[in-house]
Structure 1
Amino acid sequence: MPVIHAADAQSHEMHGSRFTPLIRPSIGSRELCLWRLEIAPGTEGVAHRVNREEAFVVVGGGITMTIDGESARLTVGDAAVAPAGSVIRLDNPSADQAEVIVNAPVGFTGELLDGTVVNPPWVN
């Protein structure tokens, strides 16, 4: 049975945030990726385009999420879906850390606004 224990998960740091993979192909998933995203207080996110649909659920603190130029404040229990091809940004303007569970299909990539393609290691 593919199981990953929190203590064994390897985290990745990028743009002031920590990404901790929980479900991904390297542990046996064929279709789904799921990771914990921790966003430090006062972090302004980096806008990027997502190539596949991506879902977000806030489980700690709060974030400001922008999808295609429309922003909303999300707090614990709130969720959002970014459609494939949309430009997104996650900000944490508060003084407290935010924690978000993120789900995307296997094969997910992002593209920075300068055209740089990001193949995140937490989804492989």
Structure 2
Amino acid sequence: MTVIRHSETRRTETPSGIMTTLASPNQGGSSLSLWRVEMGPGKSGPLHFIDVEQIWTIVTGRAEIDLNGTDLVAEAGDTAVLPADVLRQITSGPEGVTAIVTAPANARAGTPDTDTTVVPPWIA
């Protein structure tokens, strides 16, 4: 068993939010990654896909999810299961959003305008 102390979490800031890695292969040796997403009011992440299933549980606020052209809304207490290889864009509601997210540790992300995929730093 591994205990990852709060002081050992890893923060990654992007233009759309802050991702705090809670567990990953490089942090606790897990085969799953777990991170917290915090987005301010009205922020949008990029249009992208993840090559594995991803699960978002909304802790506070609201997430508006464009899932391959279908608009979904997840609010505090809701959980959204996002399928692999489907374009998505997450936008925070008027109060922002905080979510806990998990995916397999080898998850790769890409955008529709490039053939390259990467493991985001908060998943590694």
Aligned ranges for residues 92-107 of structure 1 at < 5 Å?
A: 92-94=92-94, 96-107=95-106
RMSD: 1.4
Superposition misfits of 4+ residues, deviation over 6 angstroms? none
Q: TM-score, normalised by structure 2?
A: 0.90
What is the deviation of 1:5?
A: 2.1
Secondary structure of the 1:77 match is coil
- Verify: 1:119 aligned to 2:119, yes or no: yes
In the superposition, relative to structure 1, how do residues 30 and 4 fare at CA in structure 2: closer, same or farther (>3 Å)?
closer
Give, in whole Å, the separation in 2 of the partners of 1:30 and 1:16. Answer: 26
Determine if contact 1:50/1:86 at 8 Å carries over to the other structure: yes
Q: Unaligned regions of 5+ residues in structure 1, if any?
A: none
Please show how residues 73-84 of structure 1 align to structure 2 within 5 Å.
73-84=73-84
Instruction: Give the structure 2 partner of residue 25 of structure 1.
Output: 25
Q: Deviations over 1:1-48 (max 9, x none)?
A: 322222331200123210100110112334211100001112122110
Decide whether the 8 Å contact of 1:62 with 1:73 is kept in 2: yes
- Summarize deviations over 1:79-120 as a string: whole Å, max 9, x none: 1111111111110131x2310110100100110122142321
Q: Secondary structure at the match of 1:123?
A: coil
The answer to which of 100-109 and 25-34 deviates more is: 25-34
Runs of at least 5 residues in structure 2 that lack an aligned partner in the other structure: none
Residue 7 of structure 1 aligns to a residue in which SS?
helix
Give distance in 2, aligned partners of 1:5 and 1:41: 29
Report SS of the residue matched to 2:80.
strand
What is the TM-score when the length of structure 1 is the normalising length? 0.90
- What does residue 61 of structure 2 align with? 61
Match of 2:34 in 1: 34
Aligned residue in 2 for 1:8: 8
Aligned pairs, how many?
123
More strand by share: 2
